[in-house]
Amino acid sequence: MLQEYLRNQEESTKKMERRIDFIHESLGNKSEVLFKQVIKLDEDIKKLREDHDRSLTLVKLDVASKYQELLNKSMRIEDTSYGNSKHLGSIYNRLQALEGSSHANYKRERSPTPNHPPFYCNAITRRSTTQVHEGQ
């Protein structure tokens, strides 16, 4: 009986040792697998950072090019405005040169001033023929 008990204990100890060895092997393999996964994840993170940096650079370049395009458009508008103002200035200078001509006199006649209205009313010129009706 004691021998049987010792044999069972020995078998039980061997089973436990096998389990412990299996657990150690499993943990050893798992730690190696986990380590490889960590390295792979680290490489993936590095690639993602590079892609992110590249994307940010592209976005910055895109924003910069759109800003430059808008700046160029505004400069063209400014140039056009300047050109138009130069053109209007030359027209104004020509009109001032015509100061003594009939065009300038016509313009002065048509300009609204307190003394001279832009056009003459018939009621003013025909004052004697205008009748006032009391019912209206």
The domain locations on the chain are 2-101
Structural contact between residues 56 and 65, judged by C-beta atoms closer than 8 angstroms? no
Estimate to the nearest angstrom the gap between the alpha carbon of 78 and the chain centroid: 22
DSSP letters, 7-64, are HHHHHHHHHHHHHHHHHHHHHHHHHHHHHHHHHHHHHHHHHHHHHHHHHHHHHHHHHH
Record the pTM.
0.35
- Compute the C-alpha angle 122/126/130, nearest 5°: 100
pLDDT tens digits, residue range 33-87? 778 888 899 999 999 999 999 888 888 888 888 988 888 888 777 666 666 666 6
- Pick the closest to residue 90 from 100, 101, 78, 82 (CA basis): 82
* Spatial distance between the Cα atoms of 26 and 90, rounded to a whole number of angstroms: 94
Quote the pLDDT of residue 58: 87
pLDDT at 36: 85
Are 102 and 93 in contact by the 8 Å Cβ rule? The answer is no
